[in-house]
Amino acid sequence: MPVTAVFFLTACLAISAIPPFNGFVSEWLTYQSLFLKIQQSSSIARLLSIFAVAALAMDEALAATCFVKCFGISFLGNPRKREAENAQEVPWTMLTGFGLLSMLCLVLGLFSFLATLPFNTCF
């Protein structure tokens, strides 16, 4: 199932906040707002923002670990049952939807600067 594996890998990378996918963009914007809060706030808010940065980093690491394991077991491991040995690619109608979503994850990550242009003039 090579096509399904590529689309699933794309989804895993996007949800694990790996560049250049859309998940990375949302995490990066969150980091930027937290770093700005650290620079411009009082000591209590600064401390909470530092803890939020650490929690977000740990969340990203755990998500990446989880989805690496999920992809490895699903597509790179040895089959555990006879049915898995005979697995075949799904029909093109199912691959079309999965492929469209995978492409959107990449396109929204690559062209996310267009969505943030109106906000860049504020700072």
pLDDT in tens, 43-72: 899 999 999 999 999 999 999 999 999 999
| pLDDT score recorded for residue 122 | 55
Q: What is the mean pLDDT of the chain?
A: 88
**Is residue 7 assigned to a domain?**
yes
| pLDDT score recorded for residue 81 | 82
Which helix (H) or strand (E) segment holds residue 12: the answer is helix 2-15
Range of the domain at 11: 2-79+90-102
The pTM of the full predicted model, rounded to 2 decimals, is 0.80
Question: Cα dihedral sign for 104, 107, 110, 116?
Answer: negative
Task: Please count the structural domains in the chain.
Answer: 1
Q: Which of 49, 74, 62 is nearest to 17 (CA)?
A: 62
**Is residue 115 assigned to a domain?**
no
Which helix (H) or strand (E) segment holds residue 24: the answer is helix 22-40
* Helix, strand, coil % in the chain, rounded to nearest 5: 80, 0, 20
